[in-house]
């Protein structure tokens, strides 16, 4: 049927089955494991595990009754401990999802809720764990009819979501207002900004001369009133001059580097930005929740033209700022629209340096927009 990512407490999900992140021995861990045992009935569930199940190796799954939960079944996926990413963790985590879904089918479940298996106390990187979950669930749904929930719930995520939502609503509303403003109002805003800039600049007293150290008369500061007149502006001008010189150098250096990449395609400029930010390609596409094959096409074909959503996700994965995002998108023929809610949501997250694809996807879902993770 479908995969839906939601923010909720998995112990409160009214589904046929929920999935737990379990240990290989009959012990209760922290996080999701502990929460499910407490909600289901700690002693009763633990006794069942000890007497009926026993030891289960990593990557396997077993099923128990839901006891006091709304869910009829608890499917326990024995989660791999993350070591370095090269010790078989990927295969074991994929096996957790496959075996859990197999047990759900055997029990005739129509709905099931997963946590992000192994991304808590087992140490699996969140973005990589999400990518594996989406891969395996989508592969399963191609041949099975089931509603699968991926439940995201932790203190950090909940706190972030409650903070984001009102700010994002204001941001969306403001963007729609700005997009609807007439040219007349835009001109008024520009005029007001210019007026404000003029008022903020300190005016020098008319007729007063500012001396440099070479041209200043010996008695220029001999009187207290002249010291008051001359000194502030001489010092201020010197500071401004030095700052301007440094800014000019930095701008010229940055501009010169950018000019070398003026004609870069989307692919070339993305790889350049990744290198500039001292990132690894794998980290970028994993954070972006972009398939490795898709990224390889972009990397190996300078003229590859990605879909707009893929391009936006890669901007998040590469942690670009808003100006860099606009520049990169333009190279694929795209622009951020103030009349498109998906664009506005991405703009909000990028502008506020919130590079969290799961949270972006949740916000798209909550605003009735097509999700990235399907």
Give the catalytic positions in this structure: 33
Largest separation between any pair of C-alpha atoms in the chain: 99
At 73, is the secondary structure helix, strand, or coil?
strand
Which residues have a Cβ under 8 Å from the Cβ of 336 and sit 6 or more positions away?
Answer: 325, 326, 329, 343, 346, 347
In this structure, what is the dihedral angle of CA atoms 327, 329, 330, 333, given to the nearest 10 degrees? Answer: 170
Q: What is the Cα–Cα distance from 298 to 304, expressed in whole angstroms?
A: 6
Enumerate the β-bridge partners of residue 22.
78
Per the structure block, which two tokens stand in for 351? 């502008």
Return phi, psi of residue 301, to 5°: -125, 100
How far is CA 122 from each of CA 33, 89, 139, 153, rounded to the nearest angstrom? 11, 11, 24, 16
Q: What is the Cα–Cα distance from 350 to 357, expressed in whole angstroms?
A: 11
Q: What is the Cα–Cα distance from 21 to 5, expressed in whole angstroms?
A: 18
| Sheet with 17-22: strands ordered across | 2-7, 147-152, 111-114, 17-22, 73-78, 61-65
Q: What is the Cα–Cα distance from 238 to 231, expressed in whole angstroms?
A: 11
Q: Name the H helices within the chain.
A: 32-40, 42-48, 89-106, 126-141, 155-180, 183-200, 224-259, 266-276, 281-287, 292-300, 308-317, 322-330, 341-351, 357-366
Q: What is the Cα–Cα distance from 287 to 174, expressed in whole angstroms?
A: 28
The DSSP 8-state label assigned to residue 6 in this structure reads E
């Amino acid at each position: 049927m479908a995969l839906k990512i939601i923010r909720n407490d998995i112990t409160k999900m009214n589904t046929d089955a929920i999935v737990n992140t379990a240990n290989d021995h009959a012990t209760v861990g922290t996080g999701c494991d502990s929460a499910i045992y407490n909600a289901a009935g700690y002693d009763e569930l633990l006794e069942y595990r000890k007497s009926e199940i026993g030891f289960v190796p990593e990557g396997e799954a077993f099923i128990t009754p839901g006891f006091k939960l709304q869910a009829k079944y608890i499917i326990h996926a024995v989660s791999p401990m993350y070591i370095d990413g090269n010790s078989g963790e990927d295969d074991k985590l994929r096996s957790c999802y496959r075996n859990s879904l197999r047990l759900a089918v055997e029990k005739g479940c129509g709905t099931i809720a997963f946590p992000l298996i192994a991304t808590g106390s087992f140490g699996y990187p969140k973005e990589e764990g999400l990518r594996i979950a989406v891969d395996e669930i989508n592969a399963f749904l191609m041949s099975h009819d089931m509603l699968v929930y991926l439940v995201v719930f932790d203190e950090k995520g909940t706190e972030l979501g409650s903070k984001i939502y009102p700010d994002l609503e204001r941001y969306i509303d403001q963007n729609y207002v700005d997009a609807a403003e007439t040219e007349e109002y835009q001109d008024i805003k520009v005029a007001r900004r210019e007026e404000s800039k003029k008022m903020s600049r300190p005016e020098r007293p008319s007729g007063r001369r500012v001396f440099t150290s070479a041209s200043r008369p010996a008695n220029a500061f001999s009187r207290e009133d002249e010291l008051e007149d001359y000194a502030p502006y001489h010092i201020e001008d010197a500071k401004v001059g030095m700052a301007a010189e440094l800014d000019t150098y930095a701008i010229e250096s940055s501009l010169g580097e950018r000019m070398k990449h003026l004609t870069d395609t989307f692919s070339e400029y993305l790889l350049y930005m990744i290198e500039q930010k001292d990132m690894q390609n794998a980290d970028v596409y994993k954070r972006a929740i972009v398939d490795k094959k898709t990224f390889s096409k972009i990397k190996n074909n300078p003229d590859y033209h990605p879909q707009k959503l893929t391009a936006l996700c890669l901007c998040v994965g590469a942690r670009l700022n808003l100006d860099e995002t606009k520049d990169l998108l333009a190279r694929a023929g795209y622009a951020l629209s103030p009349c498109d809610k998906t664009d506005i949501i991405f703009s909000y997250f990028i502008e506020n340096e919130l590079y969290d694809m799961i949270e972006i996807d949740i916000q798209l879902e909550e605003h009735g927009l097509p999700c990235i993770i399907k």
